């Protein structure tokens, strides 16, 4: 026999209206009652009426916002293509997707854009800055009934619905292993990351350092610098780093700005240029691989990140049921020059 809202209401000690709002993702319920209702529904084996919900969804239009810190970063071209693919598939169900892009990691400006964009949304897909201010904004949206899916990078201290993206720490560990193979286990390292405000970038470096400490006694870190995911900043900071540390013979590029960093490496004109491992097989990175400037990249399935984030937000709006996994992780894939030979 199907479990009813009345049964869940009686067992959890809250009104039927509260149960309905929780199970259908309509918000305006305290986090404590939300958790209680979901726990009771799970214990009773409640299953939403998918056919009825799908029929109702065709009668109701949902608007999903997508806010990406993506401008100037070629990686996000594939993320956006995934977003658009999901949008096309969901159009028949009355779903509209509003895509907004921005540059940089200023948390105050991002919070302002979130508030402005969220006024007419049913759900938000977001690349967050790892900041208490942004966590508070996510929590406020969640409490108001607007679920937030974080994509590509996550955030600490928020009640976001779920995270969809790569396992950054695992990627950092793989990158260190690749550099160990490329250098024979002895190297003077330079690390250039995107931003210290991005949780994923910090997790990637932590993963790298973990393997470096455990398995690479011949590695010495000369300097760590940022690119702010920008080729011009990447060029300037890499140029300064290389001149200040001429011993550097290996580079780990933990985020975007790869083309600018590699231009600095070329301008430095050393007889034996550093071995380079980076992330994301974007068109510029593929060109750098063909020129043997970058030796390996780690891809994180950007199309799937964009596609899955929109689809996950929609499924939650449709069913009111959170994803089974709190973190939906993409596979890290090693890419080398020969990966593109046909």
The 10s digit of each residue's pLDDT in 20-29 is 888 876 667 8
% the chain with pLDDT above 70:
95
Higher pLDDT, 87 or 14: 87
Q: How far is CA 143 from CA 41, 42, 69, 246, 325, in A?
A: 20, 21, 24, 53, 21
Cα gap 175→204, rounded to integer Å:
9
The structure tokens 């028949």 sit at 92
Spell out a b/e string for 298-313, using b for 16 or more CB atoms within 10 Å of the CB, else e.
bbbbbbbbbbbbbbbb
Angle between the 16-23 and 5-12 helix axes, to the nearest 10 degrees?
Answer: 110
Residue 190 CB contacts under 8 Å (≥ 6 apart), including other chains: 222, 223, 224, 225, 238, 241, 242, 245, 248, 250, 251, 252, 274
Judge if pTM exceeds 0.85.
no
The structure tokens 């011949």 sit at 218
Please state whether beta strands 333-335 and 296-299 pair in parallel, antiparallel, or not at all (unpaired): antiparallel
CA angle 226, 231, 236 (to 5 degrees): 60
Mean pLDDT of 68-75: 92
Spell out a b/e string for 42-71, using b for 16 or more CB atoms within 10 Å of the CB, else e.
eeeebeeeeeebeeebeeeebebbbbbbbe
Residue 27 confidence (pLDDT): 66
Cα gap 233→254, rounded to integer Å:
14
Structure confidence by residue, pLDDT tens digits, 214-250: 999 999 999 999 999 999 999 999 999 999 999 999 9
Mean pLDDT of 15-35: 80
Residue 1 confidence (pLDDT): 60
Higher pLDDT, 5 or 300: 300
Structure confidence by residue, pLDDT tens digits, 256-310: 999 999 999 999 888 889 999 999 999 999 999 999 999 999 999 999 999 999 9
Judged by phi (left if over 0) then psi (alpha if -120 to 50, else beta), residue 43 lies in alpha
Residue 51 CB contacts under 8 Å (≥ 6 apart), including other chains: none
Bridge partner list, 66: 99, 125
Q: How far is CA 25 from CA 113, 158, 319, 333, in A?
A: 23, 17, 8, 35
Structure confidence by residue, pLDDT tens digits, 318-342: 888 899 899 999 999 999 999 987 6
């Amino acid at each position: 026999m199907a479990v009813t809202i009345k049964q869940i209401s009686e067992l959890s000690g809250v009104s039927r209206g509260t149960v309905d709002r929780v199970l259908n993702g309509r918000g305006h319920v305290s986090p404590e009652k939300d958790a209680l209702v979901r726990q009771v529904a799970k214990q009773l084996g409640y299953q939403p009426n998918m056919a009825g919900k799908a029929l109702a969804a065709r009668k109701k239009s949902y608007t999903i916002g997508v806010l990406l810190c993506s401008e100037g970063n070629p990686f996000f071209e594939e993320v956006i293509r995934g977003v658009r693919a999901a949008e096309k598939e969901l159009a028949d169900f009355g779903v509209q997707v509003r895509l907004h892009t921005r540059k940089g990691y200023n948390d105050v400006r991002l919070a302002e854009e979130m508030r402005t964009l969220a006024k007419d949304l049913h759900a938000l897909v977001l690349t967050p800055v790892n900041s208490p201010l942004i966590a508070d904004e996510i929590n406020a949206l969640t409490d108001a009934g607007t679920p937030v899916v974080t994509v590509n990078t996550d955030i600490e201290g928020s009640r976001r619905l779920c995270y969809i993206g790569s396992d950054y720490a695992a990627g950092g560990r793989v990158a260190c292993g690749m550099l160990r193979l490329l250098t024979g286990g002895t190297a003077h390292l330079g690390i250039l990351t995107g931003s210290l405000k991005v949780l994923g970038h910090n997790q990637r470096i932590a993963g790298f350092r973990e393997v470096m400490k455990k398995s690479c006694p011949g590695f010495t870190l000369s300097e760590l610098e940022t690119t702010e995911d920008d080729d011009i900043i990447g060029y300037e900071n890499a140029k300064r780093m290389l001149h200040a540390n001429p011993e550097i013979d290996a580079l780990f590029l933990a985020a975007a700005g790869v083309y600018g960093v590699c231009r600095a490496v070329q301008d430095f004109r050393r007889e034996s240029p550093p071995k380079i491992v980076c992330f994301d097989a974007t068109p510029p990175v593929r060109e750098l691989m063909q020129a043997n400037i970058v030796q390996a990249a780690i891809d994180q399935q950007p199309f799937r990140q964009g596609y899955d984030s929109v689809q996950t937000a929609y499924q939650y709006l449709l069913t009111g049921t959170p994803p089974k996994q709190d973190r939906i992780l993409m596979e890290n894939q090693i890419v080398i020059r020969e990966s593109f030979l046909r």
